[in-house]
Structure 1
Amino acid sequence: MIRKAKIADIKHIHKFVNEFAKKEEMLPRSLNDLYEGIRDFFIYEEQGIIKGVCALHILWEDLAEIRSLAVKEEYRRIGIGRSLIKRCLKEAKYFGIKKIFALTYQPEFFKKIGFTEIDKTKLPHKIWGDCVRCPKFPECDEHAVIIYL
């Protein structure tokens, strides 16, 4: 059900992510960004239907970010998002990454998986590279959550 993304998935990922971005629930991603970050993405698929996507983006030797978690509306609340995050955490553990964070409008969802909410200013400045492209920057209203493995 969960697999690494392939080049053929990029347009689906692009559609998923940018539908959420239109609702201001995440940052938009260009096709170029997605092709460059293809190795970060996981796909949740059943019977040829892509139901969700999520990425684990490694930032430093001990820090990674959960990005672009998106599940189709009709498939929410059945564990797909949780499964995608757990797969990302498994990969982070494989690489020896100890801290995984996310910037989210759904902190309660992440807390149910074991993340804790933190002050965004406690995260290293290097994480703000994508934020400068956000129309809400520097008045970000997302919540920062983190988990230590």
Structure 2
Amino acid sequence: MTPVLEPKPSRAQAPTPVSGPGAAPGGPAAERWSLPILRPARPADVRAIAELARPFAERRILVAKDLITYFEDVQEFTVAELPPAPGAARPTGIEPGRIVGCGALHVMWDDIAEIRTLAVDPRFKGRGVGSALLRALIIRARSLDLKRLFCLTFEVGFFSHHGFQEITGTPVGTDAFAEIVRSHDDGVAEFLDLARVKPNTLGNTRMLLEL
């Protein structure tokens, strides 16, 4: 997981190649494949996003969501897609166009958003995909003039590397809290540290990045 300090992208821009330490896993054939590219998610990606997140949700690392929720939130997602290089052999189990990573930016108030559902195919762990996705989401947040990014995570070291710091409590004032608490979103309830979701957050660390 690693950064892409480039100009603020718009959703109309061409996909961004991942800058990482090497080609996809799987031996010599896999090495002829291009590195993943980052792009905004499309409705056609939703089932792949849900499948990518599923094993992490089963282990309670990510919040479990219904498929319809991913469809409703698809515009929040950036995905890492693995394209084939011309004439490349197809590594076993890795098809052209496979989504190998995803992450979402969920706006919660006028100055703060949450990093959500940041997940990478385990076969691509350590190849810069997660970091590239996080950097892209940070760039997106800055383009929206957001000032802070929140995450609730087990991966403290990873997020610390990208400038997030551990916090306690809820980083909003009472007026904002009174409005945000009206949301029915479980992720927002976790952000607010509401009692009804505390069993879901055991062992997680609350972290914040000032933009």
Aligned letter for 1:130? D
The alignment partner of 2:63 has SS state of coil
Find the counterpart in structure 1 of residue 103 from structure 2.
Answer: 54
Q: Aligned equivalents of 1:77 and 1:113: distance in 2?
A: 15
Matched, 1:13 2:49: yes
Find the counterpart in structure 2 of residue 2 from structure 1.
Answer: 38
**In the alignment, is the contact (CA less than 8 A) between 2:49 and 2:99 conserved in 1?**
no
Q: Aligned equivalents of 2:171 and 2:69: distance in 1?
A: 23
Matched, 1:101 2:163: no
User: Deviations along 1:18-42, whole A, 9 cap, x unmatched?
Assistant: 2210111111111111111111000
Find the counterpart in structure 2 of residue 148 from structure 1.
Answer: 210
Aligned letter for 1:67? R
Name the one with the larger helix percent.
1
Aligned letter for 2:62? M
| RMSD value, Cα | 1.8
The alignment partner of 2:133 has SS state of helix
User: Deviations along 1:5-64, whole A, 9 cap, x unmatched?
Assistant: 001000001111122101111111111111111110000012112110000001111000
Q: TM-score scaled by structure 1?
A: 0.91
Sequence identity (%): 29
**In the alignment, is the contact (CA less than 8 A) between 1:17 and 1:29 conserved in 2?**
no
Matched, 1:118 2:167: yes
Find the counterpart in structure 1 of residue 77 from structure 2.
Answer: 41
In structure 2, runs of 5+ residues without a counterpart are 1-36, 84-96, 191-195
Of structures 1 and 2, the one with the larger relative CO (CA 8 A, separation 6+) is: 2
**In the alignment, is the contact (CA less than 8 A) between 2:106 and 2:116 conserved in 1?**
yes
Q: TM-score scaled by structure 2?
A: 0.65
Matched, 1:88 2:144: no
Deviation for aligned residue 1:137? 2.5
Greater Rg by CA: 2
Deviation for aligned residue 1:112? 0.5
